[in-house]
């Protein structure tokens, strides 16, 4: 039986959530988000509304309150089990209560319970969180307001005798979003995946601006914002005063420091890419990879885009490295028993298998292939680079992250979330714990440019011997709150949190020095900061620092053995002290001043969230329902049942075939039969073969060493006949040299806007040409320009 995260109600009953309004405030690299959710009980009986929704994995939830009429209830952070018991007791006695808790299995899913709304009663819920903004390859800062909650695949999910009901086909609530940006740097522009009103600058320096989401936006997809500053690489340091009432020496009582480092590495060093390495590509082949990349008419299937990306990756690898490709679903398989040397034969073998890859492997079980990969011995002087592609959600996210972290010194992990709703906890977590880089491919984004950007990171010379040294006056010490920096990449920013202890009566300045070694070159960056806070930042830095420390403690607890209980206690204490969420705490608010208790049976309504799986297959879905519990229910039993439905499985991704469409029972990814999902078989009609990309056609013809052969296929890629191409070649020029020069000219002349995708292909080609030391190369380039109708210089080609 499907355990789903959707509308749980009788047919045609109104949904209690009416609207969501969000206020976003950005200060440099940090965002504060306040979401207000409006609930109305339009039914004739008392109601409990349950809303399971995604938040960014790194968000620090720091405020939760409810307003009913003129009565405002501000929730407080408590131990999770204590908060659950208090909520159950309040609801069972007819009191209004509100509970907000993080999923025990994934840090990017939260559940909100609004208990005991009387008929006709309204409730306004406010949830606030703060988050670091991630840096993109083009230096943009990315903020994502996730709307889509993808299924949490879990094998062998327990069945439950739950009646079936229909869900609304359209999410019946809307979103309003206002954005305010304040920066120490000049704001260049702000872009979005959704329609925005014009950006309004509020000062002449363009450091303060506002913008709104266009009215009428239906919250049926993630909202992405991309913010560009003029001097994004400028380092910064901000010191924030502690809470005067907090104990001195505690995190909240002392000043907190946030250092932003965004180093630019020397161009001459970055231009020399490493040729060694072991590259392992791990590709999701579960049923949902047969979904489209976006809703446009020209959208590729996700598995098709993955195949094209693997082609580019395989053609871009340096000769002599090692590589392997894994596919995973409910089980996994690898192209080779272990990584093999990259050469013409192994590349051709891999490409043949890539062409036949399908989304036919069931569910999303990523833990076992990772364990198998990590069990393989590493090759000396060939650092392991792991590239993971997935669109799904796993039920054991934290276990996966622990495994990646345990191997941090043996590899780097580059992760890619495909499609809206991809788990931020999984994607960003794997990259963070694997000292790599995370990318999200959403909307009309092409997968290939983002993947090739990460390959560039992987091929960069390794940064080693990273250290931070603090220079502070006597009597002052600095305690690091962030985990050590294990990796630095061109185009990546590191935010470092620290606690400043003690005081100095003389000096008020400090400094931090970042040192590292890049390709045998020592590099030093120094940043000055004041020990006296200059502005009130609303404890943003303290709470982000607490969140960072809490995450480290949670990982240590899961892997720490005997000290687990003490670590858990420290986590709860820090969470309560800082007022931020954790895996072991929850926000609880009870309206103890209400003079009227709610009597009678309490209905439970689940609020629908956008589900990508229905859109993937273009088919109507039937959602499952929960039987209305009695008011005086068993607290332990009810608390068991709701998280199970909310978190553990939601609605399984499924692999569907036309002949299954009429069945009332369908196979899910795990091979289980899922009751109550109905599909329109017309959704599965064969689509016409898409037109092939000329760029990929040309790249597919390149040899592993970097050259092209002169043949009919290459001529066709240029729109020529083999005779035309051959006749233009000078007699003394080798056929492969001529073919490779033509390919380079064509790339620079006609595909310059996609250079990030073919840059390594071109570098290999240019290197191969130079190694041949051909005669008459300049004339060869001139002849090639004439044939292809171009004007590309020899210097441009790098030959």
Q: What is the pLDDT of residues 321-334, one digit of tens each?
A: 999 999 999 999 99
Name the pLDDT band for 108 (thresholds 50, 70, 90). Answer: confident
Task: Please give the pLDDT value at position 700.
Answer: 95
74 Cβ contact list (under 8 Å, min separation 6): 63, 64, 65, 589
Q: Which of 427, 425, 155, 137 is nearest to 284 (CA)?
A: 427
Determine the pLDDT at residue 435: 81
Closest alpha carbon to 107 in 547, 731, 567: 547
Q: What pLDDT does 36 receive?
A: 93
Class of residue 636 by CB neighbours under 10 A (exposed 0-12, middle 13-18, buried 19+) = exposed
Q: Is the pLDDT of residue 630 over 70?
A: no
Measure the CA–CA gap between 291 and 303, rounded to whole angstroms. 8
| DSSP helix/strand/coil, 452 | helix
**Contact of 162 with 627, CB cutoff 8 Å:** yes
Contact indicator for 674, 1 with CB cutoff of 8 Å:
yes
Task: Tell me the average pLDDT across 448-459.
Answer: 88
Structure tokens at 689: 């073969």
Rg of the chain over all Cα atoms, to the nearest angstrom:
28
* Residue 340 structure tokens: 């093999």
Residue 636 CA to residue 720 CA, distance in Å, equals 74
**pLDDT(341) > 70:** yes
Q: Give the chain's domains with CATH numbers.
A: 14-150+172-228+559-594 (2.60.40.1730), 236-267+463-558 (2.60.40), 273-459 (3.40.50.410), 694-797 (no CATH)
Pick the residue with more confidence: 667 or 99? 99
The pLDDT assigned to 690 comes to 53
pLDDT digits (tens, 9 = 90+) for 504-525: 777 788 999 988 887 777 888 8
Q: Provide the 10 A C-beta neighbour count for residue 686.
A: 6
Task: Count the helices and strands in the chain (H runs, E runs).
Answer: 19, 38
pTM above 0.75, yes or no: no
**Range picked from 32-46, 313-327, 626-640 for highest mean pLDDT:** 313-327
Closest CA to 253 of 261, 242, 263, 262: 242
Main-chain phi, psi angles of 248, to 5 degrees: -65, 135
Note the pLDDT of residue 609: 65
Q: Give the highest mean pLDDT range of 135-139, 192-196, 570-574, 643-647.
A: 570-574
pLDDT of residue 75 exceeding 90: yes
- Secondary structure, 3-state, 243-285: CCCCCCCCCCCCCEEEEEECCCCCHHHHCCCCCCCEEEEEEEC
- Check residue 261 and give its pLDDT: 78
Measured CA to CA, the distance from residue 668 to residue 26 in angstroms comes to: 42
Q: Biggest alpha carbon distance in the chain?
A: 99
Q: Answer whether 286's CB lies under 8 Å from 669's CB.
A: yes
Q: Are strands 278-284 and 384-390 parallel, antiparallel or unpaired?
A: parallel
pLDDT score at 606: 66
- Structure token digits, residue 429: 């977590």
Question: What per-residue confidence (pLDDT) applies to 587?
Answer: 96
| CB contact at 8 A, 129 and 146 | no
Partners of 585 in beta bridges: 79
Mean pLDDT, residues 265-280 taken together: 73
Do the beta carbons of residue 21 and residue 36 sit within 8 Å? yes
Sheet holding 223-229, edge to edge: 134-135, 141-145, 223-229, 187-192
Contact 282, 386 (CB under 8 A): yes
Q: 383 pLDDT exceeds 60?
A: yes
pLDDT of residue 275: 67
CA-wise closest residue to 455 among 417, 402, 486, 416: 416
pLDDT digit string, tens, across residues 746-764? 999 999 999 999 999 999 9
* Mean pLDDT computed over every residue of the chain: 80
**Share above pLDDT 90 across residues of the chain, in percent, rounded to a whole number:** 42
Predicted confidence (pLDDT) at residue 161 exceeds the cutoff of 80: no
pLDDT(498) > 70: yes
What angle is formed at CA 697 by the lines to CA 695 and CA 699, rounded to 5 degrees?
70
Most confidently predicted of 41-50, 261-270, 371-380:
371-380
Q: Name the CA dihedral angle for 550, 555, 559, 561, rounded to a multiple of 10 degrees.
A: 10
Mean pLDDT is highest, among 242-246, 387-391, 410-414, for 387-391
134-145 pLDDT, tens digit per residue, is: 888 778 899 988
Tokens of 105: 């299995």
- pLDDT, tens digit, for every residue of 25-44? 999 889 999 999 998 888 88
The yes-or-no verdict on residue 561 having pLDDT over 50 is yes
Grade residue 154 by pLDDT with cuts at 50, 70 and 90: low
Q: 619 phi and psi, to 5 degrees? A: -125, 145
- Is pLDDT of 799 > 60? yes
């Amino acid at each position: 039986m499907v355990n789903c995260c959707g509308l749980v109600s009788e047919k045609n009953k109104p949904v209690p959530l009416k609207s969501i309004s969000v206020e976003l405030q950005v200060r440099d690299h940090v965002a504060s988000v306040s979401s207000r959710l409006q609930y109305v009980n339009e039914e004739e009986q008392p109601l409990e509304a349950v809303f399971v929704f995604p938040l960014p994995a790194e968000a620090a939830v720091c405020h939760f309150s409810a307003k009913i009429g003129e009565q405002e209830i501000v929730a407080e952070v408590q131990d999770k089990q204590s908060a659950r018991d208090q909520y159950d007791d309040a609801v069972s006695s007819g009191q209004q209560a509100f509970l907000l808790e993080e999923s025990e299995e994934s840090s990017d899913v939260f559940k909100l319970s609004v208990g005991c709304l009387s008929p006709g009663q309204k409730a306004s819920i406010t949830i606030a969180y703060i988050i670091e903004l991630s840096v993109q390859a083009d230096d943009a800062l990315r903020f994502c307001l996730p709307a889509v909650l993808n299924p949490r695949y879990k094998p062998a999910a327990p069945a439950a005798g739950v009646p079936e009901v229909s869900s609304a086909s359209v999410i019946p609530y809307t979103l309003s979003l206002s954005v305010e940006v304040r920066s120490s740097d000049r704001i260049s522009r702000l872009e979005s995946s959704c329609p925005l009103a014009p950006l309004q600058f509020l000062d002449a320096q363009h450091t303060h601006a506002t913008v709104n989401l266009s009215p009428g936006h239906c919250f049926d997809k993630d909202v992405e914002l991309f913010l560009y500053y003029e001097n994004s690489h400028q380092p910064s340091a901000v010191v924030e005063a502690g809470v005067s009432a907090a104990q001195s020496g505690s995190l909240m009582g002392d000043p907190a420091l946030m250092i932003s480092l965004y180093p630019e590495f020397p161009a001459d060093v970055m231009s020399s890419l490493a040729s060694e390495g072991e590259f392992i590509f791990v590709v999701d082949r579960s049923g949902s990879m047969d979904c489209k990349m976006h809703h446009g008419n020209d959208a590729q299937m996700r598995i098709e885009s993955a195949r094209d990306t693997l082609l580019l990756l395989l053609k871009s690898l340096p000769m002599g490295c090692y590589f392997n490709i894994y596919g995973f679903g409910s089980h996994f398989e690898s192209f080779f028993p272990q990584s093999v040397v990259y050469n013409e034969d192994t590349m051709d073998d891999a490409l043949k298998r890539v062409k036949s890859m399908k989304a036919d492997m069931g569910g999303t079980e990523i833990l076992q292939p990772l364990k198998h990969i990590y069990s393989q011995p590493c090759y000396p002087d060939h650092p392991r680079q792991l590239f993971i592609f997935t669109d799904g959600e796993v039920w054991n996210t934290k276990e996966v992250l622990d495994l990646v972290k345990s191997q941090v010194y043996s590899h780097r992990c580059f992760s890619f979330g495909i499609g809206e709703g991809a788990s931020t906890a999984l994607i960003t977590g794997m990259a963070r714990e694997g000292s790599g880089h995370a990318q999200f491919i959403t909307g009309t984004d092409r997968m290939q440019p983002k993947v090739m950007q990460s390959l560039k990171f992987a091929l960069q010379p390794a940064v080693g011997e990273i250290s931070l040294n603090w220079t502070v006056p006597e009597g002052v010490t600095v305690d690091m709150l962030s985990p050590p920096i294990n990796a630095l990449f061109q185009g990546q920013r590191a935010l470092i949190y620290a606690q400043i202890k003690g005081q100095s009566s003389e000096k008020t300045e400090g400094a931090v020095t970042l040192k590292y070694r890049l390709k045998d070159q020592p590099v030093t960056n120094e940043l000055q900061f004041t020990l006296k806070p200059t502005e009130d930042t609303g404890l943003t830095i303290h709470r982000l620092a607490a969140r960072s420390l809490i995450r480290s403690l949670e990982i240590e607890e899961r892997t720490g053995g005997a000290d687990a209980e003490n670590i858990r206690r420290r986590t709860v204490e820090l969470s309560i002290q800082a007022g931020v969420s954790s895996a072991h705490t929850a926000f609880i608010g009870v309206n103890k001043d209400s003079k009227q208790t709610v009597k009678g049976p309490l209905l439970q309504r689940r609020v629908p969230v956008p589900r990508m799986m229905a859109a993937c297959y273009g088919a109507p879905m039937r959602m499952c329902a929960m039987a209305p519990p009695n008011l005086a229910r068993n607290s332990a039993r009810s608390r068991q049942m709701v998280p199970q439905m909310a978190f553990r499985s939601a609605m399984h991704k499924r692999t569907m075939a036309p002949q299954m469409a009429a069945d009332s029972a369908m196979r899910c990814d795990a091979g289980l039969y899922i009751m109550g999902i109905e599909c329109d078989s017309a959704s599965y009609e064969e689509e016409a073969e898409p037109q092939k990309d000329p760029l990929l056609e040309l790249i597919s013809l390149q040899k592993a060493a970097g050259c092209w052969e002169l043949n009919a296929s290459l001529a066709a890629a240029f729109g020529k006949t083999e005779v035309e191409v051959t006749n233009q070649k000078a007699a003394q020029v080798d056929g492969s040299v001529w073919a490779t020069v033509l390919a380079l000219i064509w790339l620079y002349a006609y595909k310059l806007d996609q250079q990030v995708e073919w840059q390594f292909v071109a570098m290999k080609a240019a290197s191969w040409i130079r190694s041949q030391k051909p005669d008459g190369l300049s004339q060869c380039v001139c002849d090639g320009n004439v044939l292809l109708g171009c004007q590309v210089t020899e210097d441009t080609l790098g030959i």
